[in-house]
């Protein structure tokens, strides 16, 4: 709770704490799940963008990736190296990734050593005993197989998608409990609770995967997945961890906004999404971006351009959603933000080549995993393509302002 208070005292209370959270929570708590395959217009639009991107994709590599995923089989959260403090093998467990000790021991126990912090350099040992790579694998595999199906339909792809969704989100004995109380626990400190909802950003890929094949899924599977998403959103909106993460000023707050917006769009609850989008455009941007388009909170990091890109994407998502649900609103703000984002995009073009997440995800099931928000994906956004070798590169910065200024600290 001390960390919660530390975060909160550094924020604008009126803008970040008393935001959309209370209003949206009231709606979500009473939200009834519809058992149909009707998609919000955002996902209809997104499907068309993926169809365009597939025309330029390396089809052989895409189908090979999908085949690898299906050959590996489904992933279960209950297959754990160590149990979370709850003792439940279905509770998600991960550790704050940038911490090290000389001798790797159980990170849930307090170490006699001094714990070292190495910003942006993930500890592969912590990844190897964490559920984070597994969740990332689940979502990325669903995404890759769904894309493969869109290009070349086959029953075995739908069967795999159905099986993985049921295993991770629906089945009583294997489904992840819809919370992240034990996400990104501070290792070797004796802490029992974490503040790592940002781990769940991968769910965007799972939601998109379902949207891409929504008319092929059974209504039972679709309903079960929606119920899980609703319960997870309820937890974010009612928990101390959720309060802390929504209140974050940096990329962590941005990703929670987008995740909640995605979940609610998939549940066809546009009213709440409008509140979240309005909050992000009116408040979060003013804190995160300066007049030059730089992001002060991200520039303090060990990899400043990578983290600036990392926050670029959720803001880009919010703009994309806003254009589809509120085309007449926030007009002046959208114009200003587009200019600012363009400057950041130019800077990334000159300096960023896509590697942000340093965890070796091969530690989980030995399947290569694409990072979904790298430099190479800018060209096809909002379609996030898994294979970037053939991706078209955004136009380099040709302005008079040197892009390198963004990486100064």
Please tell me which residue, 88 or 351, carries the higher pLDDT value.
88
pLDDT at 309: 79
Please tell me the pTM assigned to this model.
0.87
Least confident of 61-70, 238-247, 359-368: 359-368
Looking at the predicted structure, is the pLDDT value of residue 409 above 50? no
Query: Taking the mean position of all CA atoms in its chain, how far away is CA 200?
Result: 5
Looking at the predicted structure, is the pLDDT value of residue 222 above 80? yes
Please tell me which residue, 249 or 224, carries the higher pLDDT value.
224
Of 4-8, 214-218, 345-349, the range with the highest mean pLDDT is 214-218
> Predicted confidence band at 405 (pLDDT cuts at 50, 70, 90)?
very low
Query: For the chain, how far is it from start to end, CA to CA, in angstroms?
Result: 31
Residue-averaged pLDDT of the chain: 82
Average pLDDT over every residue of 207-220: 97
Q: Residue holding tokens 């802390």?
A: 244
Looking at the predicted structure, is the pLDDT value of residue 4 above 50? no
Which residues neighbour 172 within 8 Å (Cβ) at sequence distance 6 or greater? Answer: none
pLDDT at 226: 97
Looking at the predicted structure, is the pLDDT value of residue 47 above 90? yes
Whose CA is closest to 201, among 325, 310, 76? 310
Greatest Cα pair distance in the chain: 59
pLDDT digits over 272-320, tens only? 999 999 888 888 877 887 777 778 888 888 877 778 878 888 988 998 8
The DSSP H or E segment spanning 184 is strand 182-185
pLDDT at 37: 85
Q: Residue holding tokens 């075995």?
A: 156
Cα 121 to Cα 371: distance, rounded to the nearest angstrom: 16
Whose CA is closest to 305, among 245, 336, 350, 274? 350
pLDDT digits over 310-339, tens only? 888 898 899 889 888 876 555 666 666 666
pLDDT at 249: 84
Half-sphere exposure for 386 (CA within 13 Å, toward CB): 28
Please tell me which residue, 118 or 13, carries the higher pLDDT value.
118
Q: What letter does residue 95 receive in the DSSP assignment? A: E
Residues facing residue 194 across a β-bridge: 185
**3-state SS assignment for residue 194:** strand
CA-only gyration radius of the chain, Å: 20
What does the DSSP assignment read for 42-92?
Answer: HHHHHHHHHHHHHHHS-HHHHHHHHHHHHHH----TT--SS--TT--TTS-
Average pLDDT over every residue of 58-69: 89
pLDDT digits over 161-201, tens only? 999 999 999 999 999 999 999 999 999 999 999 989 999 99
Cα 388 to Cα 45: distance, rounded to the nearest angstrom: 22
Which residues neighbour 216 within 8 Å (Cβ) at sequence distance 6 or greater? Answer: 149, 158
> Predicted confidence band at 139 (pLDDT cuts at 50, 70, 90)?
very high
Q: Residue holding tokens 């959270």?
A: 21
Which residues neighbour 72 within 8 Å (Cβ) at sequence distance 6 or greater? Answer: 141, 365, 366, 367
Looking at the predicted structure, is the pLDDT value of residue 36 above 70? yes
pLDDT at 305: 72
pLDDT digits over 78-111, tens only? 989 899 999 999 999 999 999 999 999 999 999 9
Give helix 155-165 / helix 203-212 axis angle, nearest 10°.
140
Query: Taking the mean position of all CA atoms in its chain, how far away is CA 94?
Result: 15
User: How many other CB atoms are there within 10 angstroms of residue 119's CB atom?
Assistant: 10
Looking at the predicted structure, is the pLDDT value of residue 138 above 70? yes
Residues facing residue 185 across a β-bridge: 95, 194
pLDDT at 290: 78
> Predicted confidence band at 377 (pLDDT cuts at 50, 70, 90)?
confident
> Predicted confidence band at 346 (pLDDT cuts at 50, 70, 90)?
low
pLDDT at 398: 37
C-alpha distance from residue 129 to each of 77, 83, 233, 281, 400 (Å)? 12, 10, 26, 38, 48
């Amino acid at each position: 709770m001390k960390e919660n208070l530390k975060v909160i005292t550094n924020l604008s209370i009126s803008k970040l704490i008393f935001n959309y959270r209370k209003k949206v929570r009231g709606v979500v708590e009473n939200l009834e799940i519809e058992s149909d395959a009707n998609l919000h217009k955002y996902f209809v639009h997104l499907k068309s963008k993926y169809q365009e991107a597939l025309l330029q994709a390396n089809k052989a590599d895409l189908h090979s990736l999908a085949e690898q995923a299906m050959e590996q089989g489904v992933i279960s959260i209950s297959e754990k190296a160590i149990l979370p403090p709850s003792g439940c093998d279905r509770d998600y467990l991960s550790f704050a990734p940038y911490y090290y000790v000389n001798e790797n021991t159980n990170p849930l126990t307090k170490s006699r050593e001094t714990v070292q912090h190495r910003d942006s350099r993930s500890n592969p040992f912590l990844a190897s005993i964490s559920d984070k790579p597994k969740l990332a694998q689940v979502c990325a595999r669903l995404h890759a197989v769904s894309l493969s199906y869109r290009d070349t339909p086959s029953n075995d792809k739908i069967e795999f998608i159905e099986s993985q969704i049921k295993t991770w989100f629906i089945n009583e004995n294997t489904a992840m409990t819809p919370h992240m109380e034990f996400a990104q626990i501070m290792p070797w400190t004796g802490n029992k609770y974490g503040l790592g909802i940002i781990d769940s950003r991968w769910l965007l890929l799972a939601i998109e995967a379902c949207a891409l094949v929504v008319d092929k899924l059974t209504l039972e599977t679709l309903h079960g997945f929606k119920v899980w998403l609703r319960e997870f959103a309820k937890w974010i909106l009612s928990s101390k961890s959720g309060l802390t993460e929504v209140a974050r000023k940096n990329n962590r707050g941005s990703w929670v906004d987008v995740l909640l917006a995605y979940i609610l769009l998939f549940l066809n609850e546009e009213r709440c999404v409008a509140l979240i989008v309005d909050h992000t455009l009116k408040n979060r941007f003013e804190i995160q971006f300066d007049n030059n388009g730089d992001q002060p909170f991200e520039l303090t990091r060990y990899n400043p351009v990578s983290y600036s890109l990392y926050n670029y994407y959720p803001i880009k998502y919010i703009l994309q959603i806003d254009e589809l649900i509120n085309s007449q609103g926030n007009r002046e703000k959208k114009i200003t933000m587009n200019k600012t984002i363009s400057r950041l995009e130019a800077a990334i073009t000159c300096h960023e080549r896509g590697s942000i997440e340093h965890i070796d995800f091969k530690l989980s099931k030995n399947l290569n995993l694409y990072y979904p928000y790298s430099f190479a994906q800018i060209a096809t956004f909002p379609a996030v393509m898994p294979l970037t070798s053939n991706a078209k590169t955004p136009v380099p910065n040709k302005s008079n302002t040197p892009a390198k200024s963004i990486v100064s600290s």
